[in-house]
Amino acid sequence: MPDLTLWTRLTRREQRIIIKLFGGGSSHGDSLIETVNLMRLGLITENGLTSAGLEVFVAAFKAQRGARELEVVS
Residue ranges covered by each domain of the chain? 2-73
* Residue 71 clears pLDDT 90, i.e. is over it: no
| Residue-wise pLDDT tens digits, 14-68 | 999 999 999 999 999 999 999 999 999 999 999 999 999 999 999 999 999 988 8
- Using the predicted structure, report yes or no on whether residue 74 has a pLDDT greater than 90: no
Looking at per-residue pLDDT, the higher value among 29 and 74 belongs to 29
Helices 51-73, 12-22: crossing angle, 10 deg rounding? 100
- pLDDT for position 73: 81
**pTM of the full predicted structure?**
0.88
Number of Cβ atoms within 10 Å of the Cβ of 48: 15
